[in-house]
Amino acid sequence: MVSNLPCFLGIVNSLFILWAIGYYDGATELYEYGWSQSFHFSRFYKGEAFLASLARHEHYLAAQMNLRPGMRVLDVGCGVGGPAREIAQFTDCQIIGLNNNDFQIQRARKYTQKAGLENQVTFVKGDFMKLSEQFGEGYFDAGMLELVGIIICGFSYIFQFTPSKLLCTLPPGRVSTVRSSRCSSPEEP
């Protein structure tokens, strides 16, 4: 039975990926209706507008990662790229959004072009389980997982993923942030 476990996990992983792709094709526009282009949670302060709270949270993430102009940042599970665009504008860094969903990637590219950020923010299709293979070790200066971290960490027994896989793409001493997932990150003040 134990010898069949890797095969079983591979099948479950493949089925989950197929389900997720179909789910996100259908749910993306609903997410945009409810969350705008930033698919994550943020605190609201009394009297604060919804979009302002999202931007404030994204600025907080950028500050936590100590992002500076020209740094290369990986956004794993980037959705339609709202946080990537906001953080790029705020910090003047280069961001690559990684997603496995073609529909979301196309929308992200459309919004990025409309914002005039296509030379600063790009989106690629990829597998978060193969970050080092796709980009090479030490390619990024910083990396982040936002809401997708809940799914990745929640199913880590299937994916065999830990936030340390993101760290492999970062040079020693660089920073990553996993927010909304409680895998590892300090609380926002």
**Does pTM top 0.85 for this prediction?**
no
Q: How far is CA 163 from the centre of its chain?
A: 12
Could you read off the pLDDT of 7-58 as tens digits, one per residue? 655 665 666 566 666 777 777 777 777 777 776 767 778 998 888 888 888 8
Q: How far is the C-alpha of 10 from the C-alpha of 75, rounded, in Å? A: 25
Does the pLDDT of residue 119 top 70, yes or no? yes
* 182 DSSP 8-state letter: -
CATH architecture of the domain with range 2-178:
3-Layer(aba) Sandwich (3.40)
Q: Which of 49, 50, 115, 60 is nearest to 82 (CA)?
A: 115
Question: Could you tell me the residue ranges of all domains in the chain?
Answer: 2-178
The Cα–Cα gap between 143 and 159 comes to 19
Angle at which helix 50-64 crosses helix 82-91, to 10 degrees, equals 60
Mind listing the pLDDT tens digit for each residue in 59-80?
A: 888 888 889 999 999 888 888 9
How far is Cα of residue 20 from the mean position of the Cα atoms in its chain?
Answer: 15
